[in-house]
Amino acid sequence: MILKAMDEIKEATGEPYTRLCAGVGVSYSSLLRWQSRRDRGLAPVSVPGPRKLPPVDLGQVKADLESLAHGRVRTAGTGELYELYRDQLSRRQFRELVDEARRACREREDCGRQRIYWNAPRLVWAVDDVHIGYHEDRKVWSNQIRDLGSRYQFVPHLSLGSVLHGELVAERLDRLFEVNGAPLVLKRDNGGNLDCAAVDAVLERYVVVPLNSPLQYPSYNGGIEKGQREFKEELVVQGDSDLLGMPDRFIRAQLATAKLNDLFRRCLHGHSANWAFETGKPRQREYTLRKRREAFEEMIVMAKVALTEPGGKKPLSPTAAWRLAVQYWLQFHGMITITMERKVLPIFP
């Protein structure tokens, strides 16, 4: 009745709705809301409070959520799934169910997380960049390269303001390959300076297999992550400070690296990284360019098989299939040993 009366008064007088609302004591925003509901074929005034929702089959909702691709911080496909249940669940309730499903997925992954032991010194290296401090309000970066089998760390390259450029990373790898021999596999993250054409050209020339970490998953390259933590801790012992100039920082970086390479480690059966790195020379020499190409081709075949094999809730991406192929090849040839970590109750050590 109010809407009809307001429309008739406006048509007769030509006054705007805002002045008419003030005259009759009706909120202008309420009038707009009532008109919007009327135009959509709904009752202008609804019952106060949240509307009643039909019952929902939570078991089916959770089953549908289980089939989604859960990442570390996000879940793909939740928008489409919410449209199916929007009349039965509020966004808050649906978001809580998604978070619960993602946590359960991560717990299952943690219970079955793999621990990799590197058995072949000189054959698998890792490269990464780490921020180690500031100089004149600019970040100091360290380009780290580590042999995973021996825990041997090469003297880092320090850069000011930004990570080492891809061309310089390629030159650094080329120089280390020439002096120490090339590894069979190089692990790296997806940084633009590490995964670039210049670096790929060096890897192709020495027939080194590239192995990229998954996106947003630093622990995949855990070996060098641990080495970076050791390096930063040793820099503190060496007296590293943001007040030091770059030449002094480089000297301390050399001292820190030398000390870590001389450290006797239980994982190396009481030997040092220097000793273990030297023991890998004979096996490294076995991998001539011809043998490296054969290994590369075998990994390519394995990756193609992994892409075409049925099974699993979701198909493998090409990058995931490649990581699986390289991992299986290294495991088959005894270069790595894989064990499964299990979570236990706190009372059990």
Q: Residue 318 corresponds to which amino acid?
A: P
Query: How far, rounded to the nearest angstrom, does the alpha carbon of residue 27 sit from its chain's CA centroid?
Result: 52
Of the two residues 206 and 311, the one the predictor is more confident about is 206
Of the two residues 89 and 179, the one the predictor is more confident about is 179
pLDDT, tens only, 20-69:
788 777 788 887 887 888 887 777 776 565 555 567 777 778 878 877 88
Rounded Cα distance, 245 and 166, in Å: 24
Alpha helices in 25-132 (DSSP H): 28-39, 58-66, 78-85, 91-111
pLDDT on residue 344: 45
Buried (b) or exposed (e) across 165-203, using 16+ Cβ within 10 A?
A: ebeebbbbbbebbeebebbbbbbbbebebbbeebbeebb
Query: How far, rounded to the nearest angstrom, does the alpha carbon of residue 254 sit from its chain's CA centroid?
Result: 30
239: pLDDT strictly greater than 80: no
Question: How many CB atoms sit inside 10 A of residue 233's CB?
Answer: 12
pLDDT, tens only, 102-113:
887 776 665 556
pLDDT, tens only, 182-203:
999 999 988 889 999 999 999 9
**Structure tokens belonging to residue 120:** 């072949």
Question: How many CB atoms sit inside 10 A of residue 348's CB?
Answer: 5
pLDDT on residue 346: 44
Looking at residues 231-249, what average pLDDT do you find? 82
Q: Residue 270 corresponds to which amino acid?
A: G
SS3 letters across 312-327: CCCCCCHHHHHHHHHH
pLDDT, tens only, 124-156:
999 999 888 888 888 999 999 999 999 999 999
Rounded Cα distance, 224 and 146, in Å: 6
**Structure tokens belonging to residue 213:** 């970490």
Rounded Cα distance, 257 and 255, in Å: 5
Closest by CA to 187, choosing from 327, 307, 337, 333, is 327
pLDDT on residue 1: 63
Rounded Cα distance, 331 and 325, in Å: 10
